[in-house]
Amino acid sequence: MNTIAEHIADFLKKYPPFDNLTFQELSEIATSIRVINLEKHKILFQINDVLHDSFYVVASGVVNLSVIADAEETLLNKCYEGDIFGLRPFFAKNNYQMTAKAREESIIYAIPIATFRPFVANNSEVLDFLLHSFASNTSNPADKENSSGKLLSDNVYFADQQSEIQYFQSLSYNVAPLTGTENTTVQEAAQQMTNSLSTSVLVCQNSLPIGIVTNTDMCSKIATGRFPINTTLDKIMSSPVVTVVENVSLAEAQLLMLKYNVTHLCVTQDGTDKSVVKGVISEHDLIVAQASNPGVLIKEIKRSQTPKDLKSIRERLTELVQKAIQKNIPISRVNILASEINLALIKRAVELSILDLGSPPARYAWLSIGSQGRREQLLTTDQDSMLIFEDVTAEKYRDVKDYFLKLGKRTTAILEKAGYEYCPFGHMASNMLWCKSLTDWTNQYQSWMNTPGENSNQLSSIFFDFEIVIGEKKIEEAIENVIFNNIKNNTLLFDFLGNEALRKNSPLTFFKKFHVEEKGPNKDKFDIKTRALMPLIDGARLFSLSHNMRGITSTYLRFKQLAIVDPRNSEIYINCSKAFIILSKFRTLEGLKNDSSGQYINLMELSKAEKEVLKNAFEPMEALEDLIKDKFQLTQFS
C-alpha cells in the first residue's frame, strides 16, 4: 500500500464516522481518494451544480457552506479538519443546494461514493452519522418546510442514542399516493404529478403495486428523448417496487433506500408487493423526519441565539418523547435521550449568558439538581440548579460572586422564557444561597449532613442528585468527595433521610382506594409525584448513599445497581425499578395529554385495567418501607 493512502487512512481513523471502520477497510477506501488543494475563496461546488461522484472531508483549512436566500448569501456552516460535507449525492438526486467555498487555503479529500457505499450499507453507525450530517447541513433558510434554527458554527455529533432513536422514530409520508396502470401514458402521469406536487406515481394491477415511475425516470428517460411522451408507464417503470410495512422506522427506510439505491419506498399492508398499497415514502420524507431527530436537535441548540430558539427546540423534544412513548420505547431509554437534550438546552442558556456578561472571572461548575440531575426530566417541569465557583482571595470574592449571581439570574431568565418554570422553592443558581464558592458549599454540605435536624428547613434531598451541565468537572468531583467523606457511619443523616423517605403519604387508603386531593384546583385527582414516585426516588437515593454508590443518580439505575451490591434484597430493588418505570409512564402520558408536569392523574380518565396496573405498581413500596425501617433502625426523627 502506498504511503499517501496510508497517511490518509491514519487521518480518517481519528474522526467519525471513519472510526467505526477497521484500518483495513480505511486503507481500501484511501487508495481511491483524490486529494484536492483548494485555494482561498475557491469554490468546490455551488448551488445548482450537478452532483459530484464523491463526498468530501476537510484534511486542513476551513470550508464555508452557504446558501443564497432573498438575494443574500447566508453562512450555514463552517467545516474544519475532520468534518464531512457534500453528502447530497449519497442521499438525493437533485443538484447541490448550497455552495462550498474555501475560507482559507485548504486540503480536501474526495471520497468516491461508489467506493464508500458498500461500507455504509454494512455499518449502521456509519450510515447514521452520514444521515445526521446530511440532515443537519440541508436546512436551507429559503426552504419554508425546514426553516428551523439559525446558523451553525461547529459540527457536533450526538453519539449515544442515535441509532436507537432512529429505529423507533416514525415517519410521516404520503398516505394517498398517485397510482396508474400499465397503460397510463407518461403524459397523463406527468400531468397528475405536476397537479399534486408528487415526485412519483405507483403502477398498480388489481390494487397491487407492480412498478413505480419517479421524477428521476421522467428526467432520464423522457426529457432526454429516449422515450416519447405518449409511452405507457410499463415501458419506463422501475419494477419490482421496494415495499415496506406501515410502521417502518426512519432508520429501516434509510437502509433500504441505500441498499437498493432507490428514492422511493412503497408502503403496503403487510410489507410485500402482494398486499394493498398504503402509501409512498420519498427521500424528502426522510429529510423532513431528520429535523426532529436528537442529533439535529442538539446541533440546533448549539447554534441557537435566543430563548425563542431554545423554546421551539424544547417543544420539539416533547414531540420526540411522545413518539417514543407511542412506539413503546422503554421510559428508561427515553429518559436518557431527553436528559441529553435538556442538558444541551441548559448549557446553551449558560453560554448565551456568558456571551452577554463576558468571560467568567474564575472557574466554576453549573449543576442541575433534582429531576434533571437524576436524568428524569421528560416533561416541562421547573428548574433546579446550583452554581459553585472556585475559591478566590478575600478582596476578589465579592466581585466574583456578583458575576456568578448575574450569570445565574440571566441563565434562569433565559430558561424561563424557553419553557422551564422557575423553581417555586428558589432552588436555583440565581439565588445567593445556591450560588457560592467551593469552600462555602463544602461547609454547607457538612452542616446539612452532620446536623441535619437543625438545618432541616434548608436541607432538600435533591441536593444529593446532581449532574454537571457546564464548567469544571473537578469542582463537581470535589462536592461528591465531601458527600461521601461525610456519609461514613453517619447514622444521624440516615435517620433524617430515612424518615424523610417514609414521610410521604400513602398512595392508597386503608380500604385500598386511591388517596386523592381533597380540595384545590386538583380536587379528586391523584398526586402521582408525591404519593408514588417520590417514596421510590427517596428510597433509591437513601440506599445508594448508604452503599457508597458514586456517579449513579437515576432512580431506575440506582435500583438496578442496588440489586447487584445487595443481592439479599435484590428482589425488592428489581420490583421497585419496575414500579418506577410504570409510574413514570403514567405521569408522562398525563403530562403529554395536558401539556403539564403530569403530577396529578385524572383517575376518571383511566380504565379499570389501568387503575389495577397503577395499584399493583404501589406494592413494592411497602417492602421498600420495611427495608428502610429495618436497615436504618429509625428513631430520632420518627
Number of Cβ within a 10 Å radius of residue 318 = 17
261, burial (CB in 10 Å: exposed 0-12, middle 13-18, buried 19+):
exposed
The C-alpha cell that represents 364 in the structure block: 466554576
Say which CATH class 179-290 falls into: alpha beta
Helix axes 570-594, 608-632, angle to 10 degrees: 140
Give residue 133's pLDDT.
65
Calpha distance 383→409 (Å, rounded): 12
Q: How far is CA 621 from CA 187, 282, 290, 570, in A?
A: 70, 50, 41, 14
Calpha distance 352→462 (Å, rounded): 26
List the single range of 54-58, 177-181, 423-427 with lowest mean pLDDT.
423-427
Give residue 265's pLDDT.
93
E strand map for 49-102 = 54-60, 63-69, 72-79, 84-85, 99-102
Whether 586 shows a pLDDT value over 60: the answer reads yes
Nearest-Å Rg of the Cα atoms of the chain is: 29
**First-last CA distance in the chain:** 76
Whether 66 shows a pLDDT value over 70: the answer reads yes
| Contact criterion met (CB below 8 Å) for 190 and 219 | no
Q: Please, which residues bridge with residue 387 across strands?
A: 366, 435
Mean pLDDT of all residues in the chain?
A: 83
Give residue 170's pLDDT.
60
**How is the chain split into domains, by residue range?**
3-154, 179-290, 304-484, 494-632
Cα of 80 vs its chain's centroid, Å: 24
| Contact criterion met (CB below 8 Å) for 628 and 500 | no
| C-alpha closest to that of 617 among 498, 519, 532 | 532
Find the mean pLDDT for residues 192-201: 87
pLDDT, tens digit, 9 for 90 and up, residues 241-276 = 999 887 777 777 877 887 777 889 999 888 888 888
| C-alpha closest to that of 572 among 503, 526, 631 | 631
Give residue 401's pLDDT.
95
Give residue 299's pLDDT.
78
Give residue 403's pLDDT.
95
Would you place residue 461 in the very low, low, confident or very high pLDDT band (cuts 50, 70, 90)? Answer: confident
Find the mean pLDDT for residues 378-403: 90
What pTM was estimated for this model as a whole?
Answer: 0.60
The C-alpha cell that represents 600 in the structure block: 396529578
Give residue 153's pLDDT.
25
Say which CATH class 494-632 falls into: mainly alpha
Looking at residue 447, its amino acid is S
Give residue 553's pLDDT.
86
pLDDT, tens digit, 9 for 90 and up, residues 498-531 = 888 887 677 877 677 787 888 888 888 888 898 8
Instruction: Give the 3-state secondary structure of residue 276.
Output: coil
HSE (side-chain half, CA atoms, 13 Å) at 534: 21
List the single range of 83-87, 236-240, 437-441, 634-638 with lowest mean pLDDT.
634-638
Whether 571 shows a pLDDT value over 50: the answer reads yes
pLDDT, tens digit, 9 for 90 and up, residues 169-182 = 567 788 889 999 99
Domain 3-154 has CATH 2.40.50.100: no
Find the mean pLDDT for residues 420-434: 90
Domain 304-484 has CATH 3.10.28.10: no
DSSP assigned state of 221: I
pLDDT over 90 percentage in the chain: 32
pLDDT, tens digit, 9 for 90 and up, residues 531-543 = 899 999 999 999 9
- Order of strands across the sheet with 200-205? 179-180, 200-205, 208-214
